[in-house]
Structure 1
Amino acid sequence: MEIIGYARVSTREQNLDLQLDALKEAGCKLIFEEKVSGVKDRPELDKALSYLREGDTFVIWKLDRLGRSLKDLVYIVDCLQKRKIAFKSIVDGIDTNSALGRCQFGIFASLAEYEREIIVERTRAGLQAAKERGKLTGRPIGLSEDAKRKAIAAKRLYENRDYSIDEICRILHIGSKATLYRYLRYEKVRLMNRRNK
């Protein structure tokens, strides 16, 4: 049963010393240090989570060092609990080894779910209000003027049969075969079963 720490700073100017001192004082023998992590890249956190075993305790200095959102934080701690790994946040006074710590985290989980439901409700209300005002939501129907020109040219090249699907895409600067086929359907071209030739 090990006590493992995780420290993170999000800018180059910040220093890990305060976190490292607190983690060492909390008994951490091994500390994973994340310096200037991106929005999704947290390789040291991934290493720490992989290193942890049943019965270990995962310690952080403060909750905002672990998760970028309440939802993210709850997900990580929930995964730890399922693996029977205790979680401790020094500054926030949370320790899932205690009944109070587990209760605190249950409240966080409820808040994360509430936050998610509020976002869903607001989105639905916004879409409904837009619909009532006659505003269309979603992708526009049909093609832009530029796409219509490409669709006409694609129809000519396709029906000519001198060019492969890939060649037509390249000639007309169409990004994908799926887009080319959408253009052809728009022009009501009868698609033939031909092997990219």
Structure 2
Amino acid sequence: MIIGYARVSTDEQSLDSQTDALSEAGAEKVFSDRVSGSKRARPELDRMLEQLRDGDIVAVTKYDRLARSLKDLLEIVETIRGRGAGFRSLAEDIDTTTPAGRLVFHVFASIAQFERERISERTKEGLASARRRGRIGGRPPALSVAQKDEVRRMRDEEHRGIPEIARLFKVSERTVRRA
């Protein structure tokens, strides 16, 4: 039996194109999750894996629908294989039921992991470059230097409590504690 798995990251995204493609590919049953691929806790994926039988084929439209990291992808595909099932990715034309398909799967998965790592490196390089030019990312501080001084003065000299100071400055108690 061909069993489909579809995933989108948010509730606003639609699963329709994936489920349509999986049905066209012969999937008799389709499991779907609405959760980030970086999260391993995916109820429908787990349910699908539990129901796999010898000879089944798990199909996805693209292998990144199954996992975001090479480690997770390999673990999930190994779980599929351990249940006697195969894995097929429609977009990349990968079919792990054949030796050539297994080779192509491992090559593609390695390339995808490499590209994610390169994106991360380029992002870090860009942020470091911006910092060297004096640009600091992130949101602006909730309290200015003068306000932080006033927070400390109110606490030390006026003996005001953190909750009261937080209300006065309209910030969280944690922000006051950090000041």
Aligned residue for 1:5? 4
Q: 1:168 to 1:66 in 2, by over 3 A?
A: same
Q: Residue 171 of structure 2: SS of its match in structure 1?
A: coil
Mapped to 2, the partners of 1:124 and 1:7 lie a distance apart of: 31
Amino acid at match of 1:164: G
131, 138, 146: which one pairs with 1:149?
Answer: 146
For residue 26 of structure 2, give the secondary structure of its aligned residue in structure 1: helix
Question: How far is 1:15 from its partner?
Answer: 8.5
1:192 alignment partner in structure 2: none
Count residues with an aligned counterpart. 166
DSSP-derived class of the 1:23 partner: coil
Q: Structure 2 residue aligned with 1:135, among 133, 136, 155?
A: 133
Q: Bigger radius of gyration, 1 or 2?
A: 1
Q: Tell me the residue number matched to 1:195.
A: none
Could you report, residue by residue, the CA deviation over 1:96-153 in whole angstroms, capped at 9, with x for unpaired residues?
122111101111122123213433443465456557xx5135469xx96952232232
Confirm or deny that 1:182 pairs with 2:178: yes
Contact 1:59 1:88 in 2 (8 A): yes
Is contact 1:22–1:61 with CA below 8 Å preserved after alignment? Answer: no
TM-score normalised per structure 2:
0.64
Residue aligning to 1:22: 25
CA separation in 1, counterparts of 2:18 and 2:127? Answer: 45
Across the aligned residues of Structure 1 and Structure 2, the Cα RMSD in angstroms comes to 4.1
- Match of residue 187 from structure 1: none
Letter in 2 for 1:6: Y
8 Å CA contact 2:2, 2:26 repeated in 1: no
Cα distance change of structure 1 residues 120 and 51 upon mapping to structure 2, 3 Å threshold = closer
1:54-76 Cα distance to aligned partner (Å, 9 max, x none): 65544325216825xxx727455
Matched residue SS, 1:60: strand
* Structure 1 residues not aligned, in runs of 5+: 184-197
Residues 59 and 90 in structure 1, CA contact (< 8 A), matched pair in contact too:
no
| CA 1:129–1:18: 2 relative to 1, 3 Å | closer
Q: TM-score, normalised by structure 1?
A: 0.60
Residues 23 and 61 of structure 1 are in contact (CA less than 8 Å); yes or no, is this contact kept in structure 2? Answer: no
Q: Distance in 2 between matches of 1:145 and 1:72?
A: 34
